[in-house]
Homo-oligomer: A and B are copies of this chain.
Amino acid sequence: MRTIDWGNGRIIAIEQTLLPGELTTLEIDTVDQLIDAIGRLAIRGAPALGVAGALGVALAAVRGGDVRAEALRLRAARPTAVNLAWGVDRVLAVADQGVDAMVALAVEILEDDVRRNRDLGLRGAKWLLERLDGPVNVQTHCNAGALACVEWGTALGVVRALHEAGSLGHVYVDETRPLLQGARLTAWELAQLGVEHTVVVDSAGPSVIARGLADVVIVGADRIAANGDVVNKIGTYPLALAAARAGIPFVVAAPESTVDLATSTGADVEIEIRSPAEVGVPNALNYAFDVTPADLVTAIITDERVVHGKPLG
């Protein structure tokens, strides 16, 4: 089952806020419904947002509204992950070729996501196994799995490839407050794959690393700046600090569509601040993402390349 798909002129997506208790799908007929689903994280994850952006513009075209205006609203649904704007812009660029061309391109982007993530996963596993003896124990954060993409996953795509190669040890999953994407989504995916895993509170991830329980940190990304700074779910930065201190690799797995050469550094990225209600107290400051400086990143693995220690441009 795909996390997000296109069928009969509508978008079908897994309702991620109800997992792991309930596996249901949303049928999305309008851009408004799509923006709502993205805003409340029923659809989430940078690669999936890229596909949602592409499919959303196709949906607007099929429904015959003001495609450009709808696209601009959709593009602004969440500010940090560059993929959403990337998906919107790609399909909007063929608007003058008509509705069929827009739908065809959106579906191509969707299919491409699967293939690219598989490539990324295999490349990541190969890169790691050239450097680490298996079984490789992994610390991850949030959900950069199939649920963050169309299927397969980015960071968890690497984990899956290690698992399929018989070279995966144990996976430590940060619960990922406030919305628990690690405890709810990543743990669910790993259980389905039969991967041994343990959930820890976010603040324990650095201790897992300091105690030598993890051989590598593997995370996804919402935006990678030209200088190699990585913007990802809040809580990524402390893992990078801990990995550097422990001398283990800190690896970012993301498709090329996450690389934003138009953004010079992490400091230039708008970090979404979400509602204090998610944290559960009125006076909370709820940054959704943090910035990991490039010097703490051992390697960025995409569907096309492995970059380490230098700018991406």
Contact = CB atoms under 8 A, between A and B. Distances in A.
A281 B206 contact: no
Contacts of A287: 200, 204, 207
Contacts of A245: 241
Interface stretch (A34-42, A143-151, A170-178): A170-178
B241 A206 contact: yes
A210 B237 contact: yes
A298 B225 CA distance: 33
Interface SS, A side: mixed
Contacts of A207: 234, 237, 287, 290-291
A242 B238 contact: yes
Given A237-B207, A238-B241, A178 B197 contact: no
Contact of A281 (B183, B203, B208, B286): B183
A8 interface: no
A198 B245 CA distance: 29
Oligomeric state, in number of copies? 2
A202 B199 contact: no
Nearest to A201: B177
Contacts of A178: 201
Contacts of A165: none
A290 B210 contact: yes
Contacts of A206: 237-238, 241, 290
A210 B292 CA distance: 10
Q: Chain A contact residues (Cβ within 8 angstroms of B): what range?
A: 35 or more
A202 B237 CA distance: 12
Interface in A260-287: 279-281, 283-287
A23 to B, nearest CB: 17
Contact of A202 (B172, B202, B285, B291): B202
A135 to B, nearest CB: 18
A234 B204 contact: yes
Nearest to A244: B241
Most chain-B CB neighbours within 10 Å: which of A200, A205, A210, A238?
A238
Contacts of A242: 237-238, 241
A92 interface: no
A226 interface: no
A124 interface: no
Contacts of A279: 175, 183, 199-201
A235 interface: yes
Interface of A: 172, 174-178, 183, 187, 197-208, 210, 234-235, 237-238, 241-242, 245, 279-281, 283-287, 290-291
15 contacts: A172-B285, A175-B279, A175-B281, A175-B284, A177-B203, A187-B283, A198-B284, A199-B279, A199-B284, A200-B279, A204-B286, A207-B237, A210-B237, A241-B241, A241-B245
